[in-house]
Amino acid sequence: METVQSPWQTAAILIARLILAAMFAMGVAFKFMDMNMTAGYIAAAGFPFPLFLAWCAAILETLLVIAFLTGAFFTPAALVAAVYVVFLGFAFHGPSHWAGNQAEFGAFMSHFPFAAGLLFAAVHGPGSVLASKLGRA
């Protein structure tokens, strides 16, 4: 059953999707600008195979941007993105980082409203007017 959206709802959903895509696009842009720096950041967090993981992150974030812009596989992408964002919060800004720099707590906390928005998007989908056929899968 198709729900009818008002113009303001359609606009709000489009803006939200653009914001989600932009957040991940900025992250992937920084990765592609200096993949070795990203790998160094990953290595500093204690992960093995940092360059491989940097490329995996860049590919994942690129796919998320495509999903948010097109609506293709929107719900699974939003769920994956929410898990990814929470993982990043703990891995790079979690409790072990707070003692050395209290600003890390703020960085950690900022991941949770982002994850909440992604979960909300996953539940409500890409919008009836803006969804691709794949977005409804």
Q: Where are the domains of the chain?
A: 7-136
Flag whether pLDDT at 3 surpasses 60: yes
Answer yes or no: are the C-beta atoms of 20 and 118 closer than 8 Å: yes
Instruction: Locate all alpha helices (DSSP H) within 34-126, ordered by sequence.
Output: 35-44, 50-70, 74-93, 95-98, 103-124
Answer yes or no: are the C-beta atoms of 71 and 14 closer than 8 Å: no
pLDDT by residue (tens digit) across 57-74? 999 999 999 999 999 999
Mean pLDDT of 6-29: 93
**Burial of 95 by CB count in 10 Å (0-12 exposed, 13-18 middle, 19+ buried)?**
exposed
